[in-house]
Amino acid sequence: MTRRGAAVAAAVAGLAIVAVVVAALVARGGDTPAIELPRSYATPAPGAYAKPLGTSVRLDAARTDAAYLRLWLAGYTSVTPENAMKWEVVEPSRNAFDFSAADAIVTAARRAGQRVRGHTLTWDVQLPGWVQSRAWTAADMELALRSHVRATVGHFRGRVAQWDVVNEPLDDDGSLTRSVFARVLGERFIDIAFDEAHRADPRAKLFLNEIATELPGPKQDALVALVRRLQARDVPIDGVGLQDHSVAVGGPDQRRLEADIARFARLGLDVELTEVDVAVRPGEPEAAQARNYRAAAAACRRSRACTGLTVWGVTDRWSWQGPGARATPFDAASRPKPAWRALRAAMRRVRRDSR
Ligand code: XIL
């Protein structure tokens, strides 16, 4: 071997060692065990729903509450990990990734034939301390953001159909939330996150997900304007997620939701109702809750641009709003409420030959 050849060989060997070390770092810390699926369990009949009907799922609940696990598998055709893909979970310290909790949910969902929504890559809540409190330069934050998005989307490439790339970027008055990302990078953080997500999985549909934009007002207007600016800058955005956390009395009705969806559809976007739940306040009838679930499902079903609807939480026992809000279609003892029948019926595919 010539000296030059030897130098090249040494350099290649060096690179190989670096690659092994990097791989070990990336894989480290992931020891969340798989979700044990029951030996036999029900799933919705193929084609039962006109569009994907999803639920968010918490790993602790799926692992410890057998009724919860069965309701998830039997009732739904799509899943959103409720917390397991958030930044504090997948990258608790810089460049040390742990996808094991999310993998447990994604693996179980795919075995049951479900679609997976990834939630969420960039949000100023549930962030680890190292992101929240570092004195960032713009260049270093861009590196960290790109690396987080690339590793996360890359890990699930081909297994996650849609990503909420950016979550809740706006304040109620429509201004850009002063998140750590916005403070350091301005609105450009959104462009960066979408750009990197698209590179990491060009087939995944990329969404901007926002809360409280189901009702017209300054925030919905600001979301439309933001999307227009992103499109003008060629940011690869496919859709808008309307979370639709609402209340039994005073929540948006079917016409309202159809009009909201149409507003974003006119921008050429897909729309997904991503986090539907309907809180029932004391004294309010369960029938009002059922009406709102039916309205959301019917609006999605009837709107060509709507790609699916996800309920936020399987049962009231595990709802992020607490059992007292009674916000999900199943009560704290895992029994179906009128909301469940209404939701399912509104999303059910109507067969041409059925009477
Ligand atoms: C909530 C989860 O449901 C809770 O378990 C967690 O403690 C906090 O986050 N908007 C979102 C979701 O985009 O990620 C939030 O989920 C609910 C509001």
DSSP string of 60-119, one letter each residue? HHHHH-HHHHHHHHHH-SEEEESSTTSHHHH-SBTTB---HHHHHHHHHHHHTT-EEEEE
Q: What is the pLDDT of residue 29?
A: 57
How is residue 17 written in tokens? 């060692």
Summarize pLDDT for 306-353 with one digit per residue, the tens.
Answer: 999 999 999 999 999 999 999 999 999 999 999 999 999 999 987 654
Asked whether 170 and 190 are in contact (CB, 8 A), the reply is: no
Q: How far is Cα 120 from Cα 139, in angstroms, rounded to an integer?
A: 22
Q: Residue 287 in 3-state DSSP?
A: helix
Q: Whose CA is nearest to atom 7 of ligand 1?
A: 320
Q: Whose CA is nearest to atom 10 of ligand 1?
A: 211
**Ligand 1 test: best mutation among 274, 312, 316, 321, most atoms within 8 Å of CB?**
312
CA dihedral 172, 175, 181, 185 (to 10 degrees): 170
Summarize pLDDT for 253-286 with one digit per residue, the tens.
Answer: 999 999 999 999 999 999 999 999 999 999 999 9
Rg, C-alpha atoms of the chain: 22
Q: Is 254 in the pocket of ligand 1 (CB under 6 A)?
A: no
Comparing CA positions, the residue from 204, 114, 100 lying closest to residue 161 is: 204
Summarize pLDDT for 227-245 with one digit per residue, the tens.
Answer: 999 999 999 999 999 999 9
Q: Is 201 in the pocket of ligand 1 (CB under 6 A)?
A: no
User: Residue 289 Cα, ligand 1 centroid: separation in angstroms?
Assistant: 20
Query: Is 258 marked active-site?
Result: no
Q: Residue 333 in 3-state DSSP?
A: coil
Q: Which of 168, 196, 214, 258 is catalytic?
A: 168
Asked whether 54 and 79 are in contact (CB, 8 A), the reply is: yes
Q: What is the pLDDT of residue 43?
A: 97
Q: Whose CA is nearest to atom 5 of ligand 1?
A: 320
Q: What is the pLDDT of residue 15?
A: 47
Query: Is 284 marked active-site?
Result: no
Element (H, E) at 47: none
Q: Residue 33 in 3-state DSSP?
A: coil
Torsion 186-88-111-114 (CA) sign = negative
- DSSP letter (8 states) at residue 159: T
Q: What is the pLDDT of residue 31?
A: 86
Q: How far is Cα 289 from Cα 19, in angstroms, rounded to an integer?
A: 54
Q: What is the pLDDT of residue 221?
A: 98
Q: How far is Cα 176 from Cα 191, in angstroms, rounded to an integer?
A: 14
**Ligand 1 test: best mutation among 58, 82, 277, most atoms within 8 Å of CB?**
82
Residues 6 or more apart in contact with residue 300 via CB below 8 angstroms: 51, 257, 261, 273, 306, 308, 309, 347
At which residue do the structure tokens 């979408």 appear?
194
Count how many residues are written for the chain. Answer: 355
Summarize pLDDT for 144-165 with one digit per residue, the tens.
Answer: 999 999 999 999 999 999 999 9
CA dihedral 62, 104, 88, 23 (to 10 degrees): 170
Q: Is 83 in the pocket of ligand 1 (CB under 6 A)?
A: yes
When the pLDDT of each residue in the chain is averaged and rounded to a whole number, the result is 93
Q: What is the pLDDT of residue 17?
A: 46
**Band of pLDDT at residue 224, cut at 50, 70 and 90:** very high
- Helices and strands counted in the chain (H then E): 13, 9
CB atoms within 10 A of CB 153: 23
Element (H, E) at 268: none
Asked whether 334 and 67 are in contact (CB, 8 A), the reply is: yes
Q: Whose CA is nearest to atom 16 of ligand 1?
A: 82
- For residue 7, pLDDT over 60 is answered with no
Q: Is 130 in the pocket of ligand 1 (CB under 6 A)?
A: no
Give strand pairing partners of 102: none
Q: What is the pTM of this model?
A: 0.91
Q: Is 211 in the pocket of ligand 1 (CB under 6 A)?
A: yes
Give strand pairing partners of 247: 279
- For residue 30, pLDDT over 80 is answered with no
